[in-house]
Chain A
Amino acid sequence: MITIDTASAVPPYEQVRSQLAGQINDGKLAVGTRLPTVRRLAADLGLAANTVARAYRELEDAGLVDTRGRAGTFVSATGDTSRAAAAQAASEYAAKVHALGLGRTEALRIVTAALGT
């Protein structure tokens, strides 16, 4: 299920994107699952079509979904790849933190702050 909170400070497109990404990475949305059309999900959630289209576009850029023309948007087989990409980015960040001489606690605080935005 996807929920949208219109009173939240998080933009609606980000709420859609993050929930879909979370469910794809958790495996709740299996590879090959067809997502609703942009217009359908927008109507269901009471959002503008452009808002949902932006969320889908970002998911596609992240390799989590594939848009197959008129057939629709499907969960792609790259869920594990995205995890690997996140792990790679974390390694690079750790190397940069070491190079800068920052401590572990401070590095984690920076990551936590970044994830919280």
Chain B
Amino acid sequence: MRGDAALRRARNWLRDHRLDIEPTPLVVGRLEARRRGVRAEVVTDLVCMAGLIAWGAVDSRSEQPVLDKISPIGWIVIVTVGMLVGFWWQRRVERPLLAGCTTRAAHPTAAGPQRVLGRGHLRLAVAVYGGGLLLGTVLTIVAPPGTTRALAMVFLVGVAVLALLSALALATTLRRPSLAEDPESLLVDDALRTEDARRATVPYPLVIAVFFGLDPNLTLGSPITLALLAYTVAGAVYWYLVDRAAHRAPRTEPVSR
């Protein structure tokens, strides 16, 4: 019964990813490992968020609370760390799946981030993370001393931390060995890798920019808030266009090589 449910979920996943193949036991096992990885990710997120909330409760009673300035970054850092834990957990569950396989399959060519992510998503990641770092640096320099400059610095550090975590998650995804025994499972491996790489480079700096752009300590409509909101809107439109183009692209070849 449980196996039937896993098989049905695998068929649905393959259909959603436009992969016209019948799930093999390895593919079903990998997709179940993915589910368990996501579960580990959610548990990590919940535990860390509970910790952040508890810290917030203690921090709000102190004379100089700091958490209100960094909490938007804290939430997103938790989400990214949770994703890394999920990736690790998934690998741990996946590894024994190949134990019974007598054949292994791999691509004969090297693949960089552009071929795994797709050109559009790679440009988006560079534009959003690079743009966020540039904007944070400029705002830190031009902002008047005091609260405004402190907020700009927190924004810059937040984007830098997220860029680092995203790069780490992307490198983990690109470097992980293929788990495939035939062309079909290699196609699934490609699709999983691309999906994970795109999750690793979700443009979270846009979310941080919204929080800072609408911060009550800043005057709405000031050049700094306008710059942050313009960055958010431009990044969100770019993200939408890239995502739409990726969904419309025909999938006939393995994505990663």
Whether, in the assembled complex, B186 has its beta carbon less than 8 Å from a beta carbon of chain A, the answer is yes
Q: Which of A2, A5, A36, A41 has a CB less than 8 Å from the CB of B102?
A: A5
Verify B105–A1 contact, CB threshold 8 A: yes
Q: When the two chains form their complex, are residues A34 and B109 in contact, meaning their CB atoms are under 8 A apart?
A: yes
Q: Is B178 an interface residue (CB 8 A)?
A: yes
Report yes or no: B109 in contact with A44, Cβ–Cβ below 8 A. no
Whether A2 lies near B98 (C-beta < 8 A) is no
| Beta-carbon nearest neighbor of B177 in chain A | A43
Residue in contact with B110 in the complex, picked from A3, A23, A34, CB distance below 8 Å = A34
Q: Chain A: how many interface residues by the 8 Å CB criterion?
A: 23
Cα A7 to Cα B103 with chains together (Å): 8
Q: Which of B171-188 contact A (CB under 8 A)?
A: 175, 177-178, 182-183, 186
- Set B98, B110, B175: member contacting A35, Cβ < 8 A: B110
Shortest B8–chain A CB gap in Å is: 28
Smallest CB–CB gap between B182 and chain A, Å? 7
- Verify B108–A23 contact, CB threshold 8 A: yes
Question: Which A residues are CB-close (under 8 A) to B110?
Answer: 34-37, 40, 72
Q: List A contacts of B106 (CB < 8 A).
A: 1-2, 36, 41, 44-45
Q: Is B107 an interface residue (CB 8 A)?
A: yes
- For the complex, give the distance between the alpha carbons of A41 and B178 in Å: 9
A53 contacts B by Cβ under 8 Å = no
Knowing A1-B183, A3-B182, the reply to whether A45 touches B109 (Cβ < 8 A) is: no
Q: Which of A2, A7, A40, A43 contacts B105 (CB 8 A)?
A: A2
Of chain B, the residue at the smallest CB distance from A37 is B110
- B62-105 at interface with A (beta carbon < 8 Å): 98, 102-105
Which residues B95-139 have CB closer than 8 A to chain A?
Answer: 98, 102-111
A3 adjacent to B107 (CB under 8 Å): no
- A69 at interface, CB cutoff 8 A: no
In whole angstroms, how far apart are the Cα atoms of A33 and B110 in the complex? 8
Q: Does A91 contact B (CB under 8 A)?
A: no
Known: A36-B110, A72-B110. A44 touches B102 (CB 8 A): no
Q: Closest A-chain residue to B106, C-beta based?
A: A44
Interface status of A81 (Cβ within 8 A of chain B): no
Report chain B residues within 8 Å CB of A72.
110
Which A residues are CB-close (under 8 A) to B109?
A: 29, 33-36
Q: With an 8 A cutoff between CB atoms, is A88 at the interface?
A: no
A19 to B109, CA, bound (A): 12
Interface string of B149-164 (1 = CB under 8 A from A): 0000000000000000
28 A-B residue pairings within 8 Å (CB atoms): A1-B105, A1-B106, A1-B107, A1-B186, A2-B105, A3-B103, A3-B105, A4-B105, A5-B102, A5-B103, A6-B102, A6-B104, A19-B108, A29-B109, A35-B109, A36-B107, A36-B108, A36-B109, A36-B110, A36-B111, A40-B110, A44-B107, A44-B177, A44-B178, A45-B105, A46-B98, A46-B104, A72-B110
> Which residues of A does B touch, CB under 8 Å?
1-7, 19-20, 23, 29, 33-37, 40-41, 43-46, 72
Other than the known A1-B105, A7-B102, A23-B108, what 13 A-B pairs have Cβ atoms closer than 8 Å? A1-B108, A2-B106, A3-B104, A4-B104, A20-B108, A33-B109, A34-B109, A34-B110, A36-B107, A36-B110, A40-B110, A40-B177, A46-B104
